[in-house]
Every structure is written in C-alpha cells, then in structure tokens.
Amino acid sequence: MTATTDGSAGALPPRTASASDTDTDIDTPGAAGVPEAAVRAMRRATDLLLARQDAQGWWKGDLETNVTMDAEDLLLRQFLGIRDAETTRAAALFIRGEQRADGTWTTFYGGPGELSTTIEAYVALRLAGDAPDAPHMARAARWIRDQGGIAASRVFTRIWLALFGWWRWEDLPELPPEIIWFPQWVPLNIYDFGCWARQTIVPLTVVSAKRPVRPAPFPLTELHTDPGDPRPARPLAAVTSWDGIFQRLDKVLHGYHRVASKRLRRVAMNTAARWIVERQENDGCWGGIQPPAVYSLIALHLLGYDLKHPVMRAGLESLDRFAVWREDGARMIEACQSPVWDTCLATVALADAGVPADHPQLVRAADWMLGEEVLRAGDWAVRRPGLAPGGWAFEFHNDNYPDVDDTAEVVLALRRVRHPDPGRVDRAVGRGVRWTLGMQSRNGAWAAFDVDNTSPFPNRLPFCDFGEVIDPPSADVTAHVVEMLAVEGRAHDPSTRRGIEWLLAAQEPNGSWFGRWGVNYVYGTGSVVPALTVAGLPAAHPAIRRAVAWLETVQNDDGGWGEDLRSYEDVDGWSGRGASTASQTAWALLALLAAGERESKTVERGIEWLVGTQREDGSWDEPYFTGTGFPWDFSINYHLYRQVFPLTALGRYVHGEPFGDRTAAPQPGS
C-alpha cells in the first residue's frame, strides 16, 4: 500500500475521486451496452476468484489494519527477550513504508495522523536502530510533541511504555485482577465487556497488578513536551458527571492497590490465569485475534510461565501465523484472519455470478465451512446457558467466540450450494438457525458476539480509551440475520418480525442505516435494504424509497460510491462521502438492485464505474479502508472485499436477485 501524503483532516474529498491511482479501464461500455460489459467483467472476476481458492476450500484475503500491530509485536518480543534481527528488519521496513510525509502514521489510508499510532511506530523504529535525529524520526518526534507528547496518548500506548520504564505505572488507570470474581449482577463484571475487550482486559489486570519494568534500551525524552515535567496532571471532570465519578473511582482503585492483601491478589491473578488458559484456542491463539494473544502471553509470563511452556510456545507460534511477508521483504502483522467470513462471501459471490451450485469448488467450500462449525459452548453461554451451540466464527480457530454475523452469512452461503450430502447441510443449518434465534437481544435486534451486552459503564472507565468495549446490537448484523431467516422460510417468525421492526425504527432521518462493522452508512444501507426486501417488504415501502433516495444523493460524479471513516466522527460532513471504492460501490448497488432499480440511470452509472475500473486480471484496486473494527478507532482493509462484493453486485445485475421469489411477509410500518 502506498502511503498518502495528504495530511488534511477537514476538507471534503472531491466528488469525482476514484480509488484507482492509475488508468485501469479495460472495458468501457459502448455500443455493446452496459449489460454486455457487465457480463464480461463478471466472468473475469469469477475466474480470478476461483483461482484464488485454497486447495482445502477456503478463501482468505489479507486483513490490513495499522502499524500498531507491528510495533506491539516488536515490543512484545523485546519484553520477552526474543526479538531477532530479521524480524526487526522486516517489521521496520513495513513501518517505515507506512509513514506519511509529515512524519505521522494513520489508522486508515488517507486519514489524519494519529498520536498513539505515531508514538508506537516511532518507538518500534528506535528499537530497530533508527536514530532519533534521522529526518523521518525527527519529523515524527516534532509532530508528537506538537500534539501533547506521550502524556496525551491513549492508555494502552502508555501501558506499553510503562513496561520499559518510559512511563510510570502509578500514572496509569487501575483495573484490579479481583474483577475476575465479580458476579454477573455487579456492574463492570468481565461479561459486561465485549468479548474482544474482556479477552484483553483480563490479562491486563494481571499486568497492571504486577507492574513490571524491563530496562529501556534508550530514553524517550524527545517525545515529551517538557522533559522536566513529562507527566502533567490531567484535569478532573466535574464530580457530578459520569467521567468525574469514574476518575474518582480510579483514585480509589489506586489506593486499593497499595493496601490489597497479597494473598488475595495472588489468588485473583491465578484465577485470571486459569481463565486465560481455558480460552486458548487449538492453534495457540486467543479468540483468533492478535491483541489478546499479546497481553495473555505477557500476563502468563509474569505469573511464571516460561517460554518453553506448551501454552507459551503455542501462543508465540500462533503470532507468527499473523505475519504477512511482502515481496520487498517487509513483514506486516494482521490483527486477525478472516477465512470463514471471506469464504462464505466468496461462495455467495460466485453463486450470484452463475457458477453452478454443484461446481466442485463451491462444494469444496461448503465442506470446509461445515467443518468449521462451532459445536461447543463459549463465553456467549454465560448469558444463554440453555442454548445449544451451532454457530460459526470469523477465524480459522475460535471456538470460544462464534459470531452471529458469520453464522448468518455461512447459512446463506451453504444454501447456495448443491451439496452431495444435503442432510448434513440441513443439520448444520438447523443448528445455526436455532443458535442465532437464541442470540436475539431484548430489543429484537442482534449483536455480533453476545446478548444484551449494552452496559453503559465499561466505556466510562479511564482504562478503556482504546475503542468500543461493548457489543450492542447493530443494523448490519441484524439485517444479515433477517435475510438469513427469511431465506430459511421464517419471514413470518415472531423473531424475524421483531428484527424487521427494529431495523425500520433504526433508519436514519436521511434514509440510511449506520454500519457498525463496515464503513459506514453505505455499508449499513447496503446490508439492510436487501434483507428487508427478501423478508417481504415491497420496493414501494417508504423505508426502501428513503434509502434509494439517499443513495442517489451520495453517488459520486464518477458513478461510484465511497465513504470515509470520518463519517463515524462527523456524520453531517462525511456520511456517504468519500472517494469511490469497489466494495462500497457494490454495497450501494446491492441495495438499489434489491429495491428494483436495475433499469435506473443510477444503477447503470454504478455498473459502468465497476466495469471501467476493473483491472485486466479481473481485480479492483482498493487502498481505502472499508471495514470497521471499532468505529473510528480501529479500521480494516479487507483485501478480498474489493473482489467479492463487486462480483456479487455484477452477478445480481446480470442474473437478477437470487431470492426474489420468496413469500412476502407482513409489512410493518407501511
């Protein structure tokens, strides 16, 4: 990925911007017409996607985030004493390549410089031997000081620095390991946190209690605004505000740290260790994602697990599997891997493109997905103890945290394949449907991992300034579930009806829907409209018409659609606004096609954009980040999105909607 030099965080992008930096037009619709050009583009994309399938049946594109993954990997290796020259060189090569001309690093392509990301990248390059007076390092340090220095960075960055004595543990928020004992009815018990947060917080309570310091190999005085006072006091919020209450609670917890019973604390840390070890996956990782693995390894090491212990050895080996080696020798670390998600989306795309349902590669994909079904209870069972398992996770190995979104999409994908053992498919789908129905929240919607994970308190903790730490229901996940249930003949089911009612109530005043797991209103709208129409709402329904009107107003002058991640922070300025991308253009087209707009000029221009920007090999270029981990705070570029979603849109444009003959459901709100 080429780093951008545009440091502007405020100016709106031009309406004619395109994701492609080069002229890749290979099939401009002319006298032959748009439909014929779409067929040719669809065939090229189909051939490319089929060629990229693994022999075992899965697809997986790179999952690109930001350089904190790479920096923290080096810092972990430094802390454990296992950092080697080759890994350091390759990581530094990647980190340097992502630096912008102003010296900063961003959390997404084209975004503004981000302080904590820039600090962590800078420290990693210092570990790699880059001198602080080198021009690229001096620019970074100057920018960091201008933004308030280390003292203004997020808690997690300062935790990493505290491990080496670059920050004082006493000046960090406190979260005691005794939280592991809080029952579910107590606020701030670990199950009040989203699964990704609890997996990270539990080991960090051990680290926070131990407060280890490994001698720093160099000082970082150049990153303080005032080296003589590197830790200026932060102002307290009003005592009557929630922020003020939690700041004062943190002071109490610091006092408790000084007087806590050593025996009680030791028992709490051992309980946390058992909790951590019990959740290690078969491949050695935790939850299939890199951050919990990193902190779990540190916590267990502090509790006496040596590097040769099977738990530690497997954990360290799992981290190596997150590494993507580039042709230039650079090493990028993925935050997680997405084979189940990529495989079900690829299967749907190929089926929509006309690949026969019994095609060997689709059958192989179905076999692999069937083998990935999670058949044991995980953390979700804490709030649904009587619910039988039967879902799918996102990653290769993640039996503790299957998610509703993947389960819904896998069921949709399996139903597109003519498998030689239909009974096996029916049984797996039946378990998945039952599990999904059991994961419905009280308000009628669905979240990704847990039920009713909506406590307002975790996000208030001073400790939790690293992104979203709860898992409330969202429009995109709920839409995928509603679509899946409708395809399964459950459009009239009371649970489906409640989901539809929630979606209709969640529509934004401008006609769009918020996208929790994709960027952003284009993703939400592209998810909801197809679900509502499959569930039986007519194209003339007011909610559908409002969505169509909104998509028409935000179409770019070049015919595509795009949305910048800044829409999470500045809705009025950025909602539906951004450089055209292949995946976001496809999402808009999926909504418009589902709404019966195939013959419209809006759809024609969108298809023309997809056809005109396709590369000769059948792919699309997409440097922009269109996936979401935490809204605004953590963004993702799924490298397969640029392939599967355009192919799905082209397929539905050419062949029509795949579920258009479903029985219409009652129409709420009409």
Residue with tokens 């539905």: 652
Amino acid residing at 246: F
Task: Tell which CATH classification among 3.30.750.210, 3.40.50.10320, 1.50.10.20, 1.20.210.10 matches the domain 338-459+472-493.
Answer: 1.50.10.20
Looking at the domain 67-333, which fold is it? Glycosyltransferase (1.50.10)
CATH 1.50.10.20 for domain 507-657: yes
User: First vs last Cα of the chain: how many Å apart?
Assistant: 47
**pLDDT attached to residue 41:** 98
Per-residue model confidence (pLDDT) at position 665: 36
- Which residues share a beta bridge with 280? 286
Residue 670, SS3 per DSSP: coil
Give the H/E segment covering residue 333.
strand 331-333
Give the model confidence (pLDDT) of 150-172 as tens digits: 999 999 999 999 999 999 999 99
What whole-number distance in Å separates Cα of residue 9 and Cα of residue 6? 9
In order of 105, 125, 131, 321, 353, the CA distances from 137 in angstroms are 12, 8, 7, 30, 49
What pLDDT sits at residue 19?
39
pLDDT of residue 660: 59
- What is the three-class DSSP state of 323? strand
pLDDT for 2-58, tens place per residue?
Answer: 333 333 333 333 333 343 443 444 566 654 589 999 999 999 999 999 999 999 999
Contacts of 646 (CB under 8 A, 6+ apart): 45, 582, 583, 585, 586, 610, 614, 620
Q: Which ranges in the chain are annotated with CATH 1.50.10.20? A: 67-333, 338-459+472-493, 507-657
Residues of the chain predicted below pLDDT 50: 1-25, 31, 661-670
H or E element at residue 607: helix 601-613
Which has the closest alpha carbon to 609: 555, 569, 658?
555
Helices 542-553 and 582-594: crossing angle in degrees, nearest 10, is 150
* pTM beyond cutoff 0.85: yes
Q: Which two tokens stand for residue 25?
A: 């037009």
Indicate the pairing of strand 63-64 with strand 634-638: antiparallel
pLDDT confidence of residue 32? 56
One-letter identity of residue 227: P
Which amino acid is located at 311 in the chain?
V
Q: Mapping DSSP to helix (H, G, I), strand (E, B) and coil, where does residue 635 land?
A: strand
Comparing CA positions, the residue from 540, 387, 415, 549 lying closest to residue 485 is 415
Residues catalogued as catalytic: 405
